[in-house]
Each structure stands twice: as structure tokens, then as C-alpha cells.
Amino acid sequence: MNEKILIVDNEKDICDLIELNLLSNGFKDIKTVHDGKSALEAVKEWFPDLILLDLMLPEIDGIQVCRLLKANEELKNIPIIMLTAKSGEYDIVNGLECGADDYITKPFSNKILIARIRAQLRKTNRGKTIVYKDLLINTVTHTAKLNNKILELTYSEFEILSSFASYPERVYTRSELISMLRGDDGYDITERAIDVQIVNIRRKLGDFGSEYIKTVRGIGYKLGGDE
């Protein structure tokens, strides 16, 4: 994955844990800083695709960092996910109202964090056509074509297929797919339901689905390559 992720947290141990989680999930271009001033400098010099931002920072706090970035025409579209121990309603509302795209309280699930990151990155990629062999996916019109024929996909099928096509060869576990579809809202999606979604996607893709959507035994699914 080529997306650049900036981690901003005053605790080095937390930065290291998040970086390890990102690396294990295929993200390779990662930078960490530990205060607000350094965060602003890193964003302007490095222009990341997404920022993980703590609220409690020295120099300039996370709220002010977020406000400054969202007020900058060149930087305002970079998605910001706030990661903070502040879980009160006021803190969450304040974080979102200052421009944050998402807000996750510590301690957090690594799987949920990765799912939220991918969700934000998908939003920033809207308008780009995802292409894999004869499969074309448009995330603005929410349409998918195979050999120039429209595929009739449900919302969940479209989300799964667009994620697969965005990162060919990457193996998605059933738990990751559940988190991606459910987010943190808590409604039930089971591993069996994911298996059914995959069966339906393969059926709708015909020979293409049988050839390229692979089951990785004991783990999950991927698009392309051999088992």
C-alpha cells in the first residue's frame, strides 16, 4: 500500500504500537511525530494521505492542529482520525466540530482502527476508477462493470469487491471484513454472513469470480493470485 500515514502522539510507545499494526496490515509509508508543532511541519513537508492525531500534545494541542489544517485550502482534505483517551461526550463533539473526520477513544481495537483508516482512505479515493483486469469500479457512482457490463451488487458486496480491487493480493480476514462493513455501530454481521457475501460476489462475477476471488484457508479471502 502506497498511502502515507502520519502518526501524531506524545507517547512514543503508542506510536510504535500503531506503526507495528499498520505495517502488519500492509501500510509501508509511515511517519511519527510527538508534538503539535512537528505535526504541522510534517504535514506541510510530507503531505500524508491520512493523519492519526492525539488530542493531548505539547506545543500545540490536537484540537488546534486540526483547526489549522482544516483551515488550510491545500491541506483541508487530508482525513484526520483523532485517537485520544478523552472519551467524554463534550470531547468527542469538540473533536468532530473542529474538523476531525473520525474519533476513536483509547484503548482501541487494532482491527477497528485499520477498518476506520481504510474507510477514510476509500472516501478520499472517490472519483477514481479502480481497475483490476477487466473489472472497473467507480466509487462515486457506486457502480462496477465487468467486461463493460454493469454488475448488480448490494451495498455490502460492492464494499467488499471495491476493497479487494483496491489492494489486490492482500488477504482480508473475516473479522476485518466484518469490521469494515459494520464499523463500530454494533449491529450483527457474522462470519457466516461474510462467507455468503463472497459466494454471491463470485456468482455475479461468473468465471472471473471463480478464477480471481480466492479463499485463503483458515484466514479469509483475497483478489488475485493463487491460494
**Do 112 and 140 reside in the same domain of the chain?**
no
Q: Reply yes or no on whether the pLDDT at 222 is more than 60.
A: yes
- Residue 212's pLDDT is 95
Query: Which one of 118-127, 156-165, 168-177 scores highest in mean pLDDT?
Result: 156-165
Of 74 and 144, the structure prediction assigns the larger pLDDT to 144
**Do 150 and 214 reside in the same domain of the chain?**
yes
- Residue 184's pLDDT is 42
Of 124 and 113, the structure prediction assigns the larger pLDDT to 113
**Do 89 and 186 reside in the same domain of the chain?**
no
**CB 64: neighbour CB atoms within 10 A?**
15
- Distance, in Å, from the CA atom of 100 to the CA atom of 84, rounded to the nearest integer, reads 12
**Do 152 and 167 reside in the same domain of the chain?**
yes
For residue 187 the three cell numbers come to 449491529
**Do 9 and 114 reside in the same domain of the chain?**
yes
Q: Reply yes or no on whether the pLDDT at 1 is more than 70.
A: no
Domain containing residue 50: CATH number: 3.40.50.2300
Q: Reply yes or no on whether the pLDDT at 185 is more than 80.
A: no
**Do 69 and 155 reside in the same domain of the chain?**
no
| Contact predicate 36/64, CB 8 Å | yes
- Distance, in Å, from the CA atom of 93 to the CA atom of 141, rounded to the nearest integer, reads 31
**Do 96 and 40 reside in the same domain of the chain?**
yes
**Do 19 and 93 reside in the same domain of the chain?**
yes
Alpha-helical segments (H) within the chain = 12-24, 36-46, 62-70, 89-97, 110-124, 155-166, 174-182, 191-205, 207-212
Q: What is the mean pLDDT of residues 41-67?
A: 92
Out of 123, 151, 170, a domain closes at: 123
**Do 58 and 14 reside in the same domain of the chain?**
yes
**Do 93 and 14 reside in the same domain of the chain?**
yes
5-22: pLDDT as tens digits: 999 999 999 999 999 999
Q: What is the mean pLDDT of residues 12-40?
A: 94
Range of the domain at 142: 126-223
- Residue 227's pLDDT is 46
For residue 28 the three cell numbers come to 509501508
- Distance, in Å, from the CA atom of 115 to the CA atom of 56, rounded to the nearest integer, reads 24
